[in-house]
Amino acid sequence: MTVRPLIIGKVHLATNLLLAPIAGYCDLAFRLVARSCGGVGMACTDLLCPEGVLRENKRSMELAATKKGDSPLCMQLYGSDTDRLCEAARWAEARGADVIDINMGCPVDKITKRDGGSALLCNPDRTLNMVGRIRSAIPNTPLTAKLRLGWNDESIVAPMIAARLENTGVDMITIHGRTTEMRFSGEARLDGIAA
C-alpha cells in the first residue's frame, strides 16, 4: 500500500491511513492514542445510534465524545429510520464531524434485526433513497458509506449499490470484502472489492 494524501469531498487528509469505526474500540481515548502514534489521516467514532445521540444518551455521548486534537474526525451512524438519520447527521455536523459515514456493513444481529447495518443491502432502492435524503440534509459535509459485498453469496450487490451511491453524491465508499453471512470469518474477497 502506498501512503499518500487523500481528499474526501472538501476534506483534505494528510494520509490515506484511516482508523476504521471498530465497534467497542473507537472511543476518544483509543482515537487519541492512535493519532499520537502518527500517520492517521482520519479517525472514526464507534458506530452511533441516531436515537441515542439525539436524546443525548450517556453511552452515545461517550462514543461521540471528541476534543481538540481529535481531528479530522468521521462520525459513523447506523439505522434505518431516514428522518432520524438525517437529524443525527445534522447533529454530528454541528458537533464538528468532518465526515459522516453511514454504516451499511455491520453484520451483528442486534443491528440487522432493526434493518440497519448490512440489512440495508437487502432493499437497495429504499437504502439509496435514504442516503439521498441524508445527502440533502448535510450538503456541505462529506458523506461516506461502508458496506459489505451483500447478504450472502447469492446476493452480491456491492458493485451495483456502490455505483448508485456515487450518483447520490456520496464522497467515498468503503467495501468490506465479506458477506453478512460470513460475518468476520474467512478471507476477504479482494475481487469483490475491486469490482
- The reply to whether 37 belongs to the active site is no
Q: Which residues contact 110 (CB under 8 A, 6 or more apart)?
A: none
Phi–psi pair at 105, nearest 5 degrees: -130, -10
11: β partners: 8
User: Which residue in 85, 8, 2, 67 sits closest to 42, CA to CA?
Assistant: 8
Name the active-site residue from 37, 49, 106, 122.
Answer: 106
- H-only helix segments in the chain: 28-36, 50-54, 58-64, 82-94, 109-112, 124-137, 158-168, 190-194
Q: Which residues are catalytic?
A: 106
